[in-house]
Chain A
Amino acid sequence: MRKSIRAGWISAALLLILLVSSACTAVPAAAPAASEAAAEESSAEPARLVVAQSVDVQGLEPSNVNSRAESNIFQHMYATLFEITASGAIVPYLAESYTVSESGMEMTFKLREGLTCHDGEPLTAEDVAYTFQRAADDANGFTGNTAGFVLDAIQYQDARVESDLEVTIVMGRYSSPALGLISEAYIHCKDSYSAMSLEDAAANPIGSGPYRFVEWVKDDYVLLEKTPDFTLREVAYDEIQWKVIPEASTRTAELIAGNVDIITNVPPDQHEAINNSGNAGVTGVAGTRRMYVGFNQRAMFDDSEGGQAIKNTAVRVALQYAVDVPTICKTLLAFECERASSMVNPPNNNTNLVAYPYDPAKAEELLDAAGYPRKEDGTRFDITFMAGRGRYLNDVAVVQALAQYLTDVGLNVDLQVMDWGSEFVPALRAHEVGPLYFVGTGGGTWSAVYDMSDLSAPTAATNYTEWNNAEWFELWDQLSDARDPESEKVITDKMLEVMYNDPPWLFLYFQPDFYGIAGDVNWQPRRDEIVDLTTASPQ
């Protein structure tokens, strides 16, 4: 008995040691063999590009795409009528041309001939109309970008088939960004989708783009392969694997180890490790997200010193000089940025406007002149500054720096950093953050009006400041009469000048985006956060 107990323990210990050691030694033993085999068969194996993002898709329903991480994958599976290029141009894709009716409320698209969906069915005007009708059908309950934003933004009324290759989108009003917005709708074929339940459709994507769906292992990866007969794109990789790696340092380790080719959202503190690895490098681009401090001018803040003060245009202008934006970018975001002079992304901005420089002495002088001198305790007025935590690049450090800059010119800042999802967003949407708040709103490279639509009305959902400059909104109304880019540009430039002189925001920077890219991959990231891998190729 005694012997059997002792033998049992020894056996268990040996088994454990054996399991652990065999597992640990498996890699060095197998790796060379695997790499040799891979080298021998490299000509036969498909070229695979592995990309790691932080979040998985929630489903594979093209009308329910809710995040950039999802749309990055979907845009490779689904084509759109037109597409927005990296430089912001809107160019034909599935459609070869479009016309706008005299009223400006109908856009008719002419499709290219010979298009097919991934199920082999011809892609016709009926499929395009079905895409919009399906997204707009309340019974489907979609809340994604197409259903929840694009259709509302263009005031979608109907989609009408004119012929096999012509389809008309009917809108509630003319809107110059309509073409760009419609270019966000993923076109899918009626035959397959009308035959599927919503649950089946969310698991079996049948696309129309350069890559087709192969496999989705939830919370692990999505695998796509090149669509053999897709002629609208030349792509270099046979397969793209979108891996989900939530933790940034794990993504970095996988990139350095050579297990992934591209990683997104690289935090500044990991740039050095990647750049020094010899296997990969970090590429940063100034994104299109406009980061700013809003001056909320709602009456609910009137009973506070700060709420009263920021109603004064002179105070809002003075505070523009108080903040050293390039230093914030350099030290906290590891990026050499230029300060924004308006809410519009280059190249659509008013180039005559020069960003406010950092000049704290001038800020103090202007605050004195505005009637807010320093009091005996050295402060000018108390003000609350609200921000969410964890949404933007190094957001907490940035707001702390901003609060310090404002303190330096005499403001007594009460910085309140809140949970992003549960506290800050509901208050922001209700326009109840402030009087100062830090936020970033998405923009684009393709339309000044699109960027400016945050402030389409004094009570617009995204006009969190409820800024109400009469001249701005008069000019906004004039935009609907401007049907050519030149006359639109004259108006938008004028509007941006109005905003510059009566700022509703403390203009900061366009948030940089950082990507880690393996040394053997040729790929240039875009400014608009879209990860377009059709332009990637082996080095």
Chain B
Amino acid sequence: MTTYLVRRVLQTFVVILGVTLLSFFALFLAGDPTYLYVSERATTEEVAATRAKLGFDRPIHEQYGRYLVGLVTFDLGNSLRSRTPAFELVLERMPATLELTLFAILFATLLAIPIGILSATRRGTPLDGGIMLFAMFGQSMPSFWLGIMLILFVGLGLRWLPISGHVPVLEPLLSGDLPKALANLPDALRHLILPGVTLGVFSLARNARLVRSSMLEVLSQDYVTTAKAKGLSRFTVVMRHAFRNSLIPFVTIIGLEFGFLLSGVVVTETVFSWPGVGRLVFNAINQRDIPVVQAAVVMFSLLFVLLNLAVDVIYTQLDPRIRLS
């Protein structure tokens, strides 16, 4: 296990290096960023002066080299726009994004399991058909459309929930202000529901289908037939014997799910005016604020790789036949 973990951590560095390299050059492929930092009336000389101020006049490999040196020393540079450390900007917004993604994962996971099981155990019934129809809709709806519909009907029409905005919970919690975090919790939940549902619906639909198909496969195994033949109740057969084994493919997808949801937060955060990393990165890409984009890329890559590592470790607990080596 230790050897495996050491090897995976080393692989993490390679992955992050590759991701930063790709994103760094991709931003430069999208044109000279200097033009976004000068007045539309700027002369050629003014553009050149600004290019030098921002450091874009240096060869690209030199710029990347400087960035890597900064990465090793945990100095990812200052945002070109706000002049504040890029990594701090990302960290400031990370709690809001984590709140949203965790809510969406919980929503998608906690509902997907019972829905998937219900659908599998009622296979071929109208209930199963209805659930699969919902799953198809859930996977087909673009999140920006769903978000706007929820705003119009639930937020504006019914006035049940806030239309946009964010009330922090993780941020005061992480800074040690537990009373504030607890006081904010009810309002934070109200603000979380619409964006969380918008972000999580696709995953809910996909996970429900996955749980259903996995459960159906397990239910057709000989040991399940044996359990039934022994006279065990339907609930015991499903929950004690079939459920755990049907979870293995589901756990795989949960690890990837986090990365998927992080990529989806850009749209959701924009629609619901949620002050998270997704919006920060989206704006930074538009403004070619390269240090901020790179800081976010490093942060996301690290989270994604570590979560997948955690999933691999959980595998061994779920299925004793799997051994990491």
Residues of B within 8 A of A462 (CB): 40-41
Q: How many interface contacts (CB-CB < 8 Å) are there between A and B? A: 170
Query: Which residue on chain B has the smallest CB distance to residue A153?
Result: B41
Distance, CA A199 to CA B79, complexed state (A): 11
Q: Are B83 and A59 in contact (CB under 8 A)?
A: yes
Q: A210-259: which have CB < 8 Å to B? A: 217-220, 243-247, 249-250, 253-254, 256-257, 259
Q: Are A23 and B82 in contact (CB under 8 A)?
A: no
In this complex, which of B41, B159, B186 has the most chain A Cβ atoms within 10 angstroms of its Cβ?
Answer: B41
In the assembled complex, A370 has its CB within 8 A of some CB on chain B: no
In the assembled complex, B138 has its CB within 8 A of some CB on chain A: no
Distance, CA A335 to CA B268, complexed state (A): 31
Knowing A5-B239, A219-B275 are in contact, say whether A442-B40 is a contact too (CB < 8 A).
yes
In the assembled complex, A483 has its CB within 8 A of some CB on chain B: no
Knowing A199-B83, A218-B275 are in contact, say whether A426-B32 is a contact too (CB < 8 A).
yes
Q: Are B155 and A253 in contact (CB under 8 A)?
A: yes
Distance, CA A454 to CA B164, complexed state (A): 41
Query: Which residue on chain A has the smallest CB distance to residue B270?
Result: A246
Taken residue by residue from 463 to 481, chain A's Cβ proximity to chain B (1 for < 8 Å, 0 otherwise) reads as 0000000000000000000
Residues of B within 8 A of A244 (CB): 273, 275
Query: Which residue on chain A has the smallest CB distance to residue B156?
Result: A253
Q: Are B114 and A461 in contact (CB under 8 A)?
A: no
Q: Are B42 and A148 in contact (CB under 8 A)?
A: yes
Residues of A within 8 A of B273 (CB): 219-220, 243-247, 250
Distance, CA A363 to CA B151, complexed state (A): 49
In the assembled complex, B38 has its CB within 8 A of some CB on chain A: yes
**Among A5, A13, A27, A429, contact of B161 (Cβ-Cβ < 8 Å):** A27
Residues of A within 8 A of B286 (CB): 421
Distance, CA A219 to CA B151, complexed state (A): 19
Residues of B within 8 A of A5 (CB): 239-240
In the assembled complex, B279 has its CB within 8 A of some CB on chain A: yes
Residues of B within 8 A of A249 (CB): 148, 151-152
**Among B43, B83, B92, contact of A61 (Cβ-Cβ < 8 Å):** B83
In the assembled complex, A416 has its CB within 8 A of some CB on chain B: no
Q: Are A254 and B163 in contact (CB under 8 A)?
A: yes
Residues of A within 8 A of B42 (CB): 148-149, 152, 461
Q: Are B30 and A422 in contact (CB under 8 A)?
A: yes
A14-22, A341-349, A396-404: which lies at the B interface?
A: A14-22
B44-52, B64-72, B123-131, B212-220: which lies at the A interface?
A: B44-52
In the assembled complex, A6 has its CB within 8 A of some CB on chain B: yes
**Among B31, B39, B84, B276, contact of A426 (Cβ-Cβ < 8 Å):** B31
Q: Are A441 and B30 in contact (CB under 8 A)?
A: no
Distance, CA A152 to CA B47, complexed state (A): 11
Q: B11-57: which have CB < 8 Å to A? A: 30-32, 35-44, 46-47, 50, 53-54
In the assembled complex, B252 has its CB within 8 A of some CB on chain A: no
**Among A19, A202, A453, contact of B41 (Cβ-Cβ < 8 Å):** A453
Query: Which residue on chain A has the smallest CB distance to residue B37?
Result: A143
Knowing A16-B110, A202-B84 are in contact, say whether A422-B283 is a contact too (CB < 8 A).
no
Taken residue by residue from 6 to 32, chain A's Cβ proximity to chain B (1 for < 8 Å, 0 otherwise) reads as 100100110010011011111110010
In the assembled complex, A145 has its CB within 8 A of some CB on chain B: yes
Distance, CA A453 to CA B280, complexed state (A): 35
Query: Which residue on chain B has the smallest CB distance to residue A16?
Result: B110
In the assembled complex, B98 has its CB within 8 A of some CB on chain A: no
Distance, CA A473 to CA B39, complexed state (A): 23
Q: How far apart are A232's CB and chain B's nearest CB, in angstroms?
A: 28
Residues of B within 8 A of A148 (CB): 37-39, 42, 46, 50
In the assembled complex, B236 has its CB within 8 A of some CB on chain A: yes
In the assembled complex, B296 has its CB within 8 A of some CB on chain A: no
Taken residue by residue from 99 to 111, chain B's Cβ proximity to chain A (1 for < 8 Å, 0 otherwise) reads as 0000000000011
Distance, CA A324 to CA B41, complexed state (A): 29
Distance, CA A423 to CA B110, complexed state (A): 45
Question: What are 8 A-to-B residue pairs whose CB atoms are below 8 Å?
Answer: A24-B161, A26-B187, A59-B82, A141-B54, A198-B83, A219-B276, A250-B272, A419-B30
Besides the known contacts A23-B189, A219-B279, 17 further A-B residue pairs in the complex with CB atoms under 8 A apart? A24-B160, A27-B160, A27-B161, A64-B83, A143-B38, A148-B42, A199-B83, A218-B89, A244-B275, A245-B164, A246-B270, A250-B273, A259-B163, A421-B286, A426-B31, A426-B35, A461-B43
Interface residues, chain A, with chain B CB atoms under 8 Å away? 1-2, 5-6, 9, 12-13, 16, 19-20, 22-28, 31, 55-56, 58-59, 61, 64, 66, 138, 141, 143, 145, 148-149, 152-153, 198-199, 202-203, 217-220, 243-247, 249-250, 253-254, 256-257, 259, 419, 421-423, 425-426, 429, 441-442, 453-454, 460-462
